[in-house]
Amino acid sequence: MTEVEWLEIVETFLDEKHEVINTKNEDTAIIKFKDEFVLLTTDAIVEEVHFSFNYFSFYELGWKLGASNLSDIAACGGEPLWALLNVGSPKAFSEKEINEFFTGLKDVLFKFNAKLVGGDTVYSPINFFSLSVIGKTKNPISRKGASPGELVFVSKKLGESAAFLRLIKKLPKDEIPENIRKAHLLPEPEVILGKTLSEKRIASAMMDVSDGLLIDLYRLCKASKVGVIIYEEKIPIGEGVTLDEALSGGEDFALLFTVPKEKVETLKSVEEELKKEVHLIGEIIKDEGIFLKTKEKTCSICPKGFDHFEFK
Amino acid sequence: MTEVEWLEIVETFLDEKHEVINTKNEDTAIIKFKDEFVLLTTDAIVEEVHFSFNYFSFYELGWKLGASNLSDIAACGGEPLWALLNVGSPKAFSEKEINEFFTGLKDVLFKFNAKLVGGDTVYSPINFFSLSVIGKTKNPISRKGASPGELVFVSKKLGESAAFLRLIKKLPKDEIPENIRKAHLLPEPEVILGKTLSEKRIASAMMDVSDGLLIDLYRLCKASKVGVIIYEEKIPIGEGVTLDEALSGGEDFALLFTVPKEKVETLKSVEEELKKEVHLIGEIIKDEGIFLKTKEKTCSICPKGFDHFEFK
């Protein structure tokens, strides 16, 4: 069974009615609560599956766990509020290790005014960490809102995180270029940009690139019942990164969002205000499918993505 | 390092200020949000540590995971709202297994009007499940409010869940008495009672008995800076259960709460209204410590409890 098949069964059990407006096909549940929306997300990471202590420091691990969850809140245009941590471990970590882990986690949470408020710790034969983050927004953005004619943007250069996993096999950590090392170990969640795109009502659909640009673009299009043409030459490829890593690498934690043409000027003013560049990569079309336009031709492509149950 | 030592370090990293009114020494974070309080709790269970598929059906596992989290919400007097699930697994479960697991989880959530709204699934060399539950209340009850002279109650018979772990070593599952089997595999969280004790402002301090009566009573007293005398003859011991299991067994998911004497009549009316018996077991005293009063004598006892890092 693939992850997609598993999720199809699981989703029949999710409650999406009354105040729960958006759970299916999303990383974050969006729930109406009084005059706002509550956002709920959770992520688990497992040693030697999602990370290795061979190259992660405890500080970096804490940071990355926080960042990946904050990225899911950012993808809905939300403001993160509180986090809950679960730790499973075969042994108690040393005081130094615990301090480093929590400093990393708190640094990234605190950067965006989120608070660590609780958690649980259990014995487990392997190390795993799971974090749940609660956020809020007045204007939640889901994957569903894209319409033909709208433009498609990503918020940062892609593929650096995947390039790290290629390079660490042959280079010592400190010989890997800083942009690539930071992208994998200390990624920056796009909380400020996501919140601004929500407040100024610029993005019509949004998600974060966590499993690879193409697979995530495919998900956004499927949820919105549209297709997309992307321009190969406009894909923002990180320095030292292959095209394949940029298209299918994963763990970029970039925002992927669609913007109606009449709002592109407002988006430009946001870029200036936040001193932050975003990258136009394509356009939403009516016909379903993902089409890659190169100088020579336009071809339909089948996304190659990360399936959590298939990679072992 | 023991779990207590680990938690002491971790707690220096928890944010307890402004709207976050109660996180330290609690299973559930209590956070002021608008005119109410949000309750956040999370629990993880690991195969062959917290459960075994040798005697848990998938339905029972889903139910118990939900019940243990709902019990933490109940212990604050809360109403559960939404749940997020994380699953780590070496292989995809079969469709039948998934359906059974989610039916169990949803049955217990639905019984108390809580909704499963999302989650994450990852590859992991071992099976683990973690659930986070969000609830709310107008009158949160913590472990801190007990005062000398108040009476101490538990909401159900104790030790049955622990007795199951003793019996399953020598008996087939279906030969174990039903009260003991249900207590371990399909425990009932005391959501209705907890909510009523909060709404009618009967309990001054409350928590759930999850690690054993004595250790949990010790925690309540420590948080409230008081002591307690319990009467051995009044401990409600489940049928087929030893005194030691009732005092130190764990996973009872009973509510443990203190009541000012002038509210005992109101408590009795609640018992009638809910058709639910609670058990007076002792009295809060000023001197710190736990004292067990038998027919012969009163002696100070040192709680023997479950430490998550010490049991392997």
CATH classification at residue A237: 3.90.650.10
- Both B109 and B156 in one domain: the answer is no
Other CB atoms within 10 A of residue A113 CB: 10
DSSP type of residue A174: G
Q: Is the dihedral of CA B129, B134, B137, B139 positive or negative?
A: positive
Q: Is the pLDDT of residue B156 over 60?
A: yes
Q: How far apart are CA A146 and CA A285, in angstroms?
A: 9
Q: Which two structure tokens, joined as six digits, stand for B187?
A: 């425990």
Q: pLDDT confidence of B138, banded at 50, 70, 90? A: very high
- Residue A36, phi then psi, degrees to nearest 5: -135, -175
Nearest chain A residue to B84 by CA distance is A42
Asked if residue A311 belongs to a domain, the reply is: no
Asked if residue B308 belongs to a domain, the reply is: no
The residue type of B177 is: P
Asked if residue A312 belongs to a domain, the reply is: no
CA distance B158 to chain A (A): 23
State which of A79, A114, A137 marks the end of a domain.
A137
Q: Is the pLDDT of residue B33 over 90?
A: no
CB A39 within 8 A of CB A28: yes
Asked if residue B44 belongs to a domain, the reply is: yes
Q: Which helix (H) or strand (E) holds B116?
A: strand B115-123
Closest to B308 measured CA to CA, from B223, B255, B256, B250: B250
- Both B167 and B282 in one domain: the answer is yes
| Lowest mean pLDDT segment, chosen from B80-89, B149-158, B292-301 | B292-301
CA distance A2 to chain B (A): 8
- Both A202 and A130 in one domain: the answer is no
Q: How far apart are CA B39 and CA B76, in angstroms?
A: 8
- Both B179 and B289 in one domain: the answer is yes
How many Cα atoms within 13 Å fall on the side-chain side of residue A269? Answer: 6
CA distance A208 to chain B (A): 15
CB A150 within 8 A of CB A283: yes
Q: Is B283 helix (H, G, I), strand (E, B) or coil?
A: strand
Q: How far apart are CA B250 and CA B209, in angstroms?
A: 7
> Sheet holding A20-22: strands in order across?
A20-22, A28-33, A36-46, A128-137, A79-89, A115-123
Maximal C-alpha separation, chain B: 59
What is the average pLDDT across B264-285?
A: 97
Asked if residue B10 belongs to a domain, the reply is: yes
What is the average pLDDT across B27-41?
A: 86
Q: How far apart are CA A155 and CA A256, in angstroms?
A: 7
Q: Which two structure tokens, joined as six digits, stand for B126?
A: 């071992």
Q: Which two structure tokens, joined as six digits, stand for A265?
A: 């000027």
B42, B45, B88 member nearest A84 (Cβ): B42
For residue B80, give every residue at least 6 positions away whose Cβ sits within 8 Å of its Cβ, in sequence order, or none: B69, B70, B73, B109, B112, B113, B114, B133, B134, B135, B191
What is the average pLDDT across B77-101?
A: 90
Specify the CATH number for the domain of residue B85.
3.30.1330.10
Q: Which two structure tokens, joined as six digits, stand for B125?
A: 């060399």
B13, B20, B311 member nearest A102 (Cβ): B13
Asked if residue B145 belongs to a domain, the reply is: no
* Residues on chain A touching B85 (C-beta within 8 angstroms): 42
Other CB atoms within 10 A of residue A225 CB: 11
What is the average pLDDT across B131-141?
A: 94
State which of A102, A137, A172 marks the end of a domain.
A137
Q: pLDDT confidence of B34, banded at 50, 70, 90? A: confident
Q: How far apart are CA A221 and CA A198, in angstroms?
A: 19
Whole-number percent of chain B with pLDDT over 70: 88
* Residues on chain B touching A1 (C-beta within 8 angstroms): 92-95
* Residues on chain A touching B308 (C-beta within 8 angstroms): 121-123
* Residues on chain B touching A7 (C-beta within 8 angstroms): 121
Q: How far apart are CA A265 and CA A194, in angstroms?
A: 17
CB B289 within 8 A of CB B222: no
Contact B99 A134 (CB under 8 A): no
Cα angle B54, B57, B59; round to 5: 160
User: Which of B30, B122, B309 to mutate to probe the A interface, most A CBs <10 Å?
Assistant: B122
- Both A173 and A273 in one domain: the answer is yes
Q: pLDDT confidence of B26, banded at 50, 70, 90? A: low
- Both B168 and B293 in one domain: the answer is yes
Closest to B300 measured CA to CA, from B311, B288, B310: B288
- Both B105 and B161 in one domain: the answer is no
- Residue B309: the pLDDT is 38
Contact B31 A118 (CB under 8 A): no
- Residue B178: the pLDDT is 97
User: What are the residue ranges of helices labelled H in chain A?
Assistant: 3-11, 58-74, 95-111, 160-167, 178-185, 191-199, 213-224, 243-248, 264-274
Q: Is the pLDDT of residue B200 over 90?
A: yes
For residue B262, give every residue at least 6 positions away whose Cβ sits within 8 Å of its Cβ, in sequence order, or none: none
Q: Which domain holds residue A72?
A: 3-137
Other CB atoms within 10 A of residue A54 CB: 8
A40, A93, A117 member nearest B82 (Cβ): A40
Q: Is the pLDDT of residue B294 over 70?
A: yes
Above 0.90 for ipTM, yes or no?
Answer: no
Residue-averaged pLDDT of chain B:
89
Q: How far apart are CA B152 and CA A207, in angstroms?
A: 50
User: Which of A308, A310, A311 to mutate to probe the B interface, most B CBs <10 Å?
Assistant: A308
Size of interface A-B (CB pairs under 8 A): 211
- Residue B23, phi then psi, degrees to nearest 5: -130, -35
- Residue B23: the pLDDT is 57
Q: Which two structure tokens, joined as six digits, stand for A40?
A: 């709920």
CB A62 within 8 A of CB A100: yes
User: Which of B84, B108, B112, B210 to mutate to probe the A interface, most A CBs <10 Å?
Assistant: B84
Q: Is A7 helix (H, G, I), strand (E, B) or coil?
A: helix
Contact A88 B122 (CB under 8 A): no
CA–CA distance from B179 to each of B62, B105, B186, B241, B275 (Å)? 19, 21, 10, 10, 18
- Residue B191, phi then psi, degrees to nearest 5: -65, -45
Task: Give the bridge partners for B43, in sequence order.
Answer: B131
CA distance A240 to chain B (A): 29
Contact A128 B124 (CB under 8 A): yes
State which of A137, A172, A196 marks the end of a domain.
A137
Q: Is A233 helix (H, G, I), strand (E, B) or coil?
A: helix
Task: Give the bridge partners for A158, in sequence order.
Answer: A237
A1, A99, A116 member nearest B9 (Cβ): A99
Which residues of chain A are modeled with pLDDT < 70?
1-26, 303-312
Asked if residue A145 belongs to a domain, the reply is: no
User: Which of A3, A17, A40 to mutate to probe the B interface, most B CBs <10 Å?
Assistant: A40
End-to-end distance of chain B based on CA atoms, in angstroms? Answer: 13
Q: How far apart are CA A47 and CA A58, in angstroms?
A: 12
For residue B5, give every residue at least 6 positions away whose Cβ sits within 8 Å of its Cβ, in sequence order, or none: A92
* Residues on chain A touching B112 (C-beta within 8 angstroms): none
Asked if residue A114 belongs to a domain, the reply is: yes
Contact B1 A92 (CB under 8 A): yes
Q: How far apart are CA B27 and CA B191, in angstroms?
A: 15
Contact B121 A6 (CB under 8 A): yes
- Both B223 and B131 in one domain: the answer is no
For residue A190, give every residue at least 6 positions away whose Cβ sits within 8 Å of its Cβ, in sequence order, or none: A71, A74, A155, A156, A208, A253, A254, A255
- Residue A144: the pLDDT is 92
Q: How far apart are CA A202 and CA A90, in angstroms?
A: 47
Contact B117 A15 (CB under 8 A): yes
Other CB atoms within 10 A of residue A172 CB: 9
- Both A177 and A294 in one domain: the answer is yes
| Lowest mean pLDDT segment, chosen from A79-88, B24-33, B179-188 | B24-33
Nearest chain A residue to B104 by CA distance is A13
User: What are the residue ranges of helices labelled H in chain B?
Assistant: 3-11, 58-74, 95-111, 160-167, 178-185, 191-199, 213-224, 243-248, 264-274
Contact B40 A84 (CB under 8 A): yes
| Lowest mean pLDDT segment, chosen from A291-305, B14-28, B127-141 | B14-28
Q: Which two structure tokens, joined as six digits, stand for A143?
A: 């994957």
Contact A49 B123 (CB under 8 A): yes
- Both B121 and B180 in one domain: the answer is no
- Both B86 and B173 in one domain: the answer is no
Closest to B165 measured CA to CA, from B137, B185, B144, B135: B185
CB A283 within 8 A of CB A149: yes
Q: How far apart are CA A196 and CA A192, in angstroms?
A: 6
Nearest chain B residue to A109 by CA distance is B15
Number of domains chain A is built from: 2
pLDDT digits (tens, 9 = 90+) for B206-226: 999 999 999 999 999 999 999
- Both B180 and B262 in one domain: the answer is yes
